[in-house]
Amino acid sequence: DYEILFIDNKSQDRTRRIITDICAQDPKVKAIFNSKNFGQFNSPYYGMIHTTGDCTITICADFQDPVEMIPKFVAEWEKGYKIVIGKKTTSQENPVMYFLRDCYYKTIKKMSNVEMIEQFTGFGLYDKSFIQTLRDLHDPTPFLRGIVAELGPERKEIEYTQPKRRAGKTHNN
């Protein structure tokens, strides 16, 4: 069984209407419509703590997270991993942006007491036991990447090439 949960960060286009229509057609599809843009860190975290399944898979709706990774995540979860994450090895995005993001990851890694995961955006599968850990934190300003690195049980990392964004423009500067 499954549920699909969309989290909308106050989209200004037709996204909300489209998601509402999908929810009306399928009771397994739900949505959280944020009153403002809570950003790339808070919004997924808040969505995750509202899931109810045995596991939760997070994936960006801009198609930069390849859906074909999902069966690989599930296979590793079935082997016993509580967290299975996608880790970018290369990206088809602008090379300058990829370089700058790489610098960001390396800087955060050097400044942190926690062994940060480079090129990890949050894309992955999380067991319900880890979702409960997130709920128990009651963190008003969560940094999922750091929480996974610090509090997450043994994880499996699966490498992938990030495809080019299909539409729209990133607001992550």
Taking only the tens of pLDDT, the chain with its 173 residues reads: 788 999 888 888 899 999 999 999 999 999 999 888 887 778 889 899 999 999 999 988 777 788 999 999 999 999 999 999 999 887 777 778 778 877 887 887 778 777 778 778 889 999 999 999 999 998 888 888 889 988 888 899 999 888 776 555 555 54
Q: How many whole angstroms separate alpha carbon 98 and alpha carbon 94?
A: 6
**pLDDT value of position 13:** 87
**pLDDT value of position 39:** 79
**pLDDT value of position 168:** 54
Asked whether 117 and 148 are in contact (CB, 8 A), the reply is: yes
Asked whether 47 and 5 are in contact (CB, 8 A), the reply is: yes
- Long-range Cβ pairs for the range 73-76 (8 Å, 24+): 73/124, 73/125, 73/158, 74/125, 76/125, 76/156, 76/158
Global pTM? 0.83
The residue to which tokens 């067991």 are assigned? 127
**pLDDT value of position 85:** 94
SS3 of residue 67 by DSSP: helix
